[in-house]
A and B are shown apart, each in its own frame.
Chain A
């Protein structure tokens, strides 16, 4: 291993501080006993966590965001697998165009997408439902699922699938028993990124969310634009700690660097 020099260590320390400090500040503010945002604060209290537990709107929004994230990430992953296999395997006419099209939501500003969806839903009169919202999220998170799935299918040897077929496996069995385990890390990583993107998405969702379909980021945004009370910091703290725990569990179970960076050989 290479030893880091003084300046390198200093740089990393500053960098980590820069990233982590805002999170720490937000978390510290959540434990205030005052009715406004303050730091440093006198009097530690869990009153804002109590307030959060009593805030049905916020809890509903949280549940909706989880549901939305699970649904849109799963649908995106299921669409990404066949798309990635086709793109990496076959040289069909319009391959570049299809790839570009599927990845294009990355390049379109969320605001533009939001306005487009709003207009589309009001014309088609299907706005306001959970599945309409899911549809918009699938479109937005598909590029993330596809990119990571593609990364694992591009290096995939065609031979192992042929070997499975020659041994008598049907196409489905060959896919399920041989191909899927080979691209699993890409699919899982893609799914996770897609989930995070969906859970986090605000700019586009603000346009299409209705009172019945308010996601957590939208609810938080509404909250903070109406009142400035420490409730929002309590929500943030729960999210930060929750994410941290989730990451730890995932790392224990599958190894995060393997999923997000790729399989080490």
Chain B
């Protein structure tokens, strides 16, 4: 039984369809990320759930209650805004206390719950400060504490990390995830950052042009993208254009330039234009002559934990990553052998590819 259901949501601005028939079912306690580029409708979707945007069509049901036309102040949601939206003229404690006050929580209990909320985000003792006197990361925590203090039935996060620097963002991902698990609160995150979506969510809803084009666990979505769009949006990938040459019910053979690639578990019509995909980390470096094909190293970049390589081969430029195991890979200009497992190849129709990427 879904806790939150979005049914056929449409939002139009003039002729522009910001949300174009969106359906989503979220289970209780689940963490869902709405992932997509800017303009894909993810923020409009969040604002519809929050009640700041009235959908043109469709229904929003939260915990069995139709909230499509309920005013935002009566929805009881916790929202963390991209700008944090802290009240600058109130102290941290007053900020957190605001929602409790609106709910008529008695003063004594308010103080207790403010302290609890501050503890939860590890800001105990900073209640008397003004937001101005806090760092970006601390403001973010106050915003989270304020949203959680009212014990909302649903937590909405609108690109909450985009104003933090990379290192802090990573810490907050893990911390926020832990808090969400601890409280068991159903959460919806809007982000354009695939790492953020993957680290925190149970399921990722990839959005494109006002629709959800795929919803899966981070692993499934990364490993088995349904479209070239989803594939490209969730991390880097190599794409090789080809045509189906041979097929049976267990596999396809795709002609890419003068190479026949064997893709198992896929079934396509003969002669179809397709793209074969493989993620950079699935390609292995092997001794020259022993892999499936060979190439010349064009680029070698050291990233600390990884080596990023680009190898010129018969298939074109192949991008790959290697974990840094202590020995540098062959230098730029050297001949290397490349290999992969056929199970790591993915196949997607090229019509879709051309239409959407």
Contacts and interface: CB of A to CB of B under 8 A. Distances in A.
Interface of A: 157, 159-160, 162-171, 173-174, 177-178, 181-182
| Listed residue (A163, A165, A166, A178) with the most chain B CB atoms within 10 angstroms of its CB | A166
B102 interface: yes
Given A162-B50, A162-B52, A163-B81, A168 B103 contact: yes
Contacts of B50: 162, 166
Interface string B152-185: 0000000000000000000000000000000000
Nearest to B96: A167
A167 B89 contact: no
A169 B98 CA distance: 9
Given A160-B87, A182-B88, A166 B79 contact: yes
B88 A159 contact: no
Given A157-B83, A165-B51, 12 more contacts: A157-B85, A160-B85, A160-B86, A162-B79, A163-B86, A165-B71, A166-B72, A166-B73, A167-B98, A167-B150, A168-B73, A182-B89
Contact of B78 (A159, A160, A162, A166): A166
A160 B87 CA distance: 6
Closest 9 CB pairs of A and B: A167-B99, A159-B85, A168-B102, A163-B85, A166-B79, A181-B89, A165-B72, A159-B81, A160-B85
Main secondary structure of the interface of B (DSSP, over half): loop
Contact of B98 (A162, A164, A170): A164
B150 A168 contact: yes
14 contacts: A159-B83, A159-B85, A160-B85, A162-B79, A166-B72, A166-B77, A166-B147, A167-B102, A168-B73, A169-B102, A174-B73, A177-B87, A178-B87, A181-B89
Contacts of B99: 167-168
Contacts of B337: none
Interface of B: 50-52, 71-79, 81-83, 85-89, 98-99, 102-103, 146-147, 150
A265 to B, nearest CB: 8
B96 to A, nearest CB: 10
Nearest to A162: B52
A162 B102 contact: no
A157 B84 CA distance: 11
A69 B150 CA distance: 45
Nearest to B78: A166
A181 B98 CA distance: 15
Contacts of A174: 73
A126 B92 CA distance: 54
A160 B21 CA distance: 30
Contacts of B74: 168
B141 to A, nearest CB: 15
A184 to B, nearest CB: 8
Nearest to A178: B87
Contacts of B52: 162, 165
A77 B159 CA distance: 37
B102 A173 contact: yes
Contacts of B85: 157, 159-160, 162-163
A167 B50 CA distance: 11
Contacts of A173: 102
Contacts of A166: 50, 72-73, 75, 77-79, 147
Contacts of A159: 81-83, 85
B101 to A, nearest CB: 9
A264 B271 CA distance: 68
Given A169-B73, A170-B73, A173-B102, A164 B87 contact: yes
Contacts of A165: 51-52, 71-73
Nearest to A157: B83
B22 to A, nearest CB: 21
B132 to A, nearest CB: 8
Nearest to B77: A166
A170 to B, nearest CB: 6
A171 to B, nearest CB: 8
Contacts of B98: 164, 167, 169, 177
A175 B73 CA distance: 13
A166 B314 CA distance: 57
Contacts of A169: 73, 98, 102
A157 B143 CA distance: 15
Contact of A163 (B51, B87, B89): B87
Given A162-B50, A162-B72, A173-B102, A167 B146 contact: yes
Contacts of A164: 87, 98
Contacts of B79: 162-163, 166
